[in-house]
A = this chain, B = another copy of it.
C-alpha cells in the first residue's frame, strides 16, 4: 500500500493491523558520466515499490511512504545537478517525518536508504528523536531502523559476484544497473576514462572534484546492464520483505 496513493480513511484502516511504515530515502547527486542524478533515491524507491507489489499480491499489506529524495551530499556539490541538505536541515526534516507518522500511530519506522553519505546523519537524527524521551524519562513508542538496500540479505554477495572487479563505491555498476532496469530508456553509453577511477577519502566538494574528476569512486559504471539490474532488484525485494517481516515483529521490552 503506497501512502501517497491512499486516502486518509484507508490509512486509518491499515493502522488497525500494522504500525510499520517504510520510507525510501536517498539523495540527488552526481553519479558520474553514466549514472542518473536520482540514482540514490531511485534505487530504494524501485526496490520498495516492487516489494510493495509483491506484498499486496500476497495479501500482506506493507505501507510505503513517499520517497525522501534529497539527502546529505555536500561533497558532490562540485558537480552540476547535485542537491543537498546540510546535516542540520536533514536531521530536522527526518525528525518531522518521523513525528508526523508517529502522530498517526506508526511506531515501527524503517528507512530503506540508497546513499552512503546519509548514514551518519540519519543515525544522528534517530538519536535526536530519542533524546526527547531519554532526557525526560519518558517511554518512547518508536522503533527506528536504517537499512541500506545493498545490505539487504543476499544483495552484497550477488553484486560482488556480478562485479568482482570495478564495483567501487560511488556510481557503482550495481546501483546504476538497478536504475537501468527500472528505466530502460535511461541507459547511457559513455566512454569512461579510466575504466576504473581512483578511490580515496571524502572531504569537501572541491577536494572531491580534484580527486575524482568525473565523479566516480573506484567504479566501472559501464558494467551495468538492464538484466543484471533486474537480478539485483529481485534479490533485494526478497531481502526487504524478509527484513520488514522481522522488523515488524520486534517488540520493545516493558
Contacts and interface: CB of A to CB of B under 8 A. Distances in A.
A6 B37 contact: yes
A242 interface: no
Interface stretch (A94-102, A151-159, A160-168, A223-231): A94-102
A4 B28 contact: yes
A43 to B, nearest CB: 12
* Shortest Cβ-Cβ A-B pairs, 10 listed: A4-B38, A134-B205, A120-B123, A210-B253, A11-B81, A11-B80, A8-B30, A130-B204, A140-B204, A89-B92
A127 interface: yes
A87 B124 contact: yes
Interface string A169-182: 00000000000000
A59 interface: no
B80 A85 contact: no
A156 to B, nearest CB: 21
A176 to B, nearest CB: 10
A93 B88 CA distance: 10
A38 to B, nearest CB: 3
Chain A interface residue bracket vs B: 35 or more
**Integer count of this chain's copies in the complex:** 6
Given A66-B41, A80-B105, A88 B85 contact: no
A12 interface: yes
Among A93, A124, A138, A142, residue most surrounded by chain B Cβ atoms (within 10 Å): A124
A66 B66 contact: no
A124 B128 contact: no
Given A36-B5, A82-B100, A103-B77, A252 B127 contact: no
Interface in A193-218: 203-207, 210-211, 215
Contacts of A77: 100, 103, 134-135
Contact of A67 (B69, B74, B211): B69
Given A41-B66, A74-B127, A206 B133 contact: yes
A226 to B, nearest CB: 16
B11 A38 contact: no
A135 B74 contact: yes
A91 interface: yes
